[in-house]
């Protein structure tokens, strides 16, 4: 039978002190809830339900393109048990196993979720509880087991006796797998007879034990997988753990890092062998970096494609691509679908927007190229720009192969410069330049001998 994952993402998270829902705060470049959804997906779960409430529209918008994610809104937030009941009422009775995960468990691994499901299936459990033994058990609900390993109860920390606090070290992680059929039939037995007036999913354990239904536990050896996030301090702590997890995996696959604590790589980025990531490098989104590259220092790549043998020095690349043997920076900015072909160069203080730069072409320094196509072997002199925006419309600049553009040149789009043309420095090009032509546009220089000397003399006399 198919497995359903219910991700609880409706809470306010007041301790985050934020206008945004807690589950939308990010670990690296992805929200908390994304990590939980992705863990369920990687565990093979095809039906994922996000329970939303506080900040519902923000959560919906982020996951709108995720075809395997369904939303159920918990308009009245009356506890975790109530959230599961709302899902059952909205979608109908559950058939197969139902995994319930808090939306603030970003470190949980797919293997752990899969083990939870397998235990429920293999043992025919009514409920399987995921447990851990953290160094400090304060505040966690304690799991009481009998001699055969069956769960007898989950006792909240505040309800534990001094002896139980000292001896019960197995803690509830807030993640469960239920038999869907039995959960559908028994979820209505939950009551809200407590100080908070809420329906707690943990109470299902006591209900099942009282019915004689089997409840077992799966112990997670690495307690860090199950660390939750309630404030921004804890958010930074789990982010550091995830940073190290990803970086260690990359280094074991052949990527070098001068200082792994100063490199941040998102979960969907891929980086090839023999690439070096220098300090203060950020690699976000679905970035793909090839082999034998040097990225950084002080570089940021977002949804970028980088070929082999590239250097990306103090450079930002967003939604753009560079092919093999491309050199960028220091302090270059590629954005908006820019594409550099093999052997091209973007130099110091260069911005490239929505432009194609041909094989072996160079934009070495202090230039802006926007909405343009440069052919092969083009050289753009320093301080040159394409004037692509008139305040209302964007226009295109076409530059052919082996064109030389002198420094401080303005190319006012729409304009075309033909193959092998040469544009003199400090020109303002407003008309097309034929192939093989020289284009110059300069005002006449006027020199008045002795004028400056007379000017300074007059100022000194006036003083």
Mean pLDDT per segment of 10 residues, for the chain of length 463 residues?
94 92 97 98 96 96 95 94 96 94 96 96 94 89 86 84 87 93 96 87 92 94 94 97 98 98 98 98 98 98 98 98 98 98 98 98 97 98 96 95 98 98 96 97 91 92 82
Q: How far apart are CA 149 and CA 349, in angstroms?
A: 65
Q: How far apart are CA 179 and CA 119, in angstroms?
A: 11
172 is in an annotated binding site: yes
In the residue annotation, 365 being an active-site residue is answered as: yes
Pair 41, 267: CB distance under 8 Å:
no
335 is in an annotated binding site: yes
Q: How far apart are CA 96 and CA 182, in angstroms?
A: 10
Is 4-225 in CATH node 3.90.550.10? yes
Q: Residues with Cβ < 8 Å from 351, sequence gap 6 or more? A: 332, 333, 334, 335, 367, 368, 369, 370
Q: Residues with Cβ < 8 Å from 260, sequence gap 6 or more? A: 243, 244, 247, 248, 251
Tokens describing residue 240: 């550091």
C-alpha radius of gyration, the chain, whole number: 31
Burial-class residue 218 by CB neighbours within 10 Å (0-12, 13-18, 19+): buried
22 is in an annotated binding site: yes
389 is in an annotated binding site: yes
Tokens describing residue 401: 């192969």
Q: How far apart are CA 53 and CA 80, in angstroms?
A: 12
43 is in an annotated binding site: no
Q: How far is CA 334 from CA 185, 325, 365, 377, in A?
A: 57, 16, 13, 19
What is residue 156's predicted lDDT score, i.e. its pLDDT? Answer: 81
379 is in an annotated binding site: yes
Q: How far apart are CA 111 and CA 242, in angstroms?
A: 16
φ and ψ at 346, to 5 degrees?
-120, 115
425 is in an annotated binding site: yes
Domains 4-225 and 256-439 share a fold: no
What is residue 65's predicted lDDT score, i.e. its pLDDT? Answer: 94
Residue ranges per domain, the chain?
4-225, 256-439
What is residue 221's predicted lDDT score, i.e. its pLDDT? Answer: 93
Of 219, 365, 393, 396, which one is the catalytic site residue? 365
What is residue 145's predicted lDDT score, i.e. its pLDDT? Answer: 87
In CATH, which superfamily holds the domain spanning 256-439?
Answer: Hexapeptide repeat proteins (2.160.10.10)
Q: How far apart are CA 418 and CA 399, in angstroms?
A: 6
| Site of tokens 């197995």 | 170
79 is in an annotated binding site: yes
What is residue 173's predicted lDDT score, i.e. its pLDDT? Answer: 87
What is residue 148's predicted lDDT score, i.e. its pLDDT? Answer: 82
104 is in an annotated binding site: yes
């Amino acid at each position: 039978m198919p497995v359903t994952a219910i991700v609880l993402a409706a809470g306010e998270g007041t301790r985050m002190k934020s206008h945004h829902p807690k589950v939308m705060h990010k670990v690296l470049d992805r929200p908390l809830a994304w990590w939980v959804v992705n863990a369920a997906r990687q565990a093979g779960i095809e039906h994922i339900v996000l329970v939303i409430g506080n900040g519902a529209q923000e959560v919906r918008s982020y996951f709108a393109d995720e075809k395997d994610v369904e939303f159920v809104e918990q308009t009245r937030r009356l506890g975790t048990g109530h959230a599961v009941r709302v899902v059952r009422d909205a979608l109908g009775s559950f058939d197969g196993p139902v995994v319930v995960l808090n939306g603030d468990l970003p470190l949980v691994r797919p293997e752990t979720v899969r083990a939870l499901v397998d235990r429920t299936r293999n043992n025919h459990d009514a409920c399987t509880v995921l447990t851990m033994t953290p160094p400090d058990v304060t505040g966690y609900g304690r799991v009481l087991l009998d001699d055969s390993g069956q769960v007898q109860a989950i006792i909240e920390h505040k309800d534990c006796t001094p002896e139980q606090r000292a001896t019960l070290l197995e803690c509830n992680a807030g993640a469960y797998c239920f038999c869907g059929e039995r959960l559908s039939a028994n979820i209505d037995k939950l009551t809200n007879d407590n100080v908070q007036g809420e329906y707690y999913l943990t109470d299902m354990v006591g209900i099942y034990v009282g019915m004689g239904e089997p409840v077992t536990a799966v112990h997670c050896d690495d307690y860090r997988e199950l660390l939750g996030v309630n404030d921004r301090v804890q958010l930074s702590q789990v982010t550091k753990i995830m940073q190290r997890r990803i970086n260690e995996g990359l280094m074991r696959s052949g990527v070098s890092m001068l200082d792994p604590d100063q490199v941040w790589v998102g979960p969907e980025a891929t980086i090839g062998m023999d690439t070096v990531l220098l300090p203060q490098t950020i690699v976000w989104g679905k970035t793909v970096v090839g082999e034998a590259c040097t990225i950084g220092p002080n570089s940021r790549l977002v949804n970028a494609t980088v070929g082999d043998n590239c250097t990306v020095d103090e450079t930002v690349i967003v939604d753009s691509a560079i092919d093999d043997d491309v050199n960028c920076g220091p302090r270059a900015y590629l954005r908006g679908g820019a594409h550099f072909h093999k052997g091209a160069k973007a130099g110091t203080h260069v911005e490239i927007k929505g432009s194609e730069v041909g094989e072996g072409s160079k934009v070495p320094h202090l230039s802006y190229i926007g909405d343009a196509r440069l052919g092969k072997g083009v050289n753009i002199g320093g301080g040159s720009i394409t004037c692509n925006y008139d305040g209302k419309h964007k226009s295109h600049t076409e530059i052919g192969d082996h064109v030389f553009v002198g420094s401080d040149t303005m190319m006012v789009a729409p304009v075309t410069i033909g193959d092998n043309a040469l544009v003199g420095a400090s020109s303002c090009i407003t008309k097309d330049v034929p192939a093989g032509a020289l284009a110059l546009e300069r005002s006449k220089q006027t020199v008045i001998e002795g004028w400056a000397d007379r000017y300074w003399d007059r100022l000194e006399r006036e003083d």
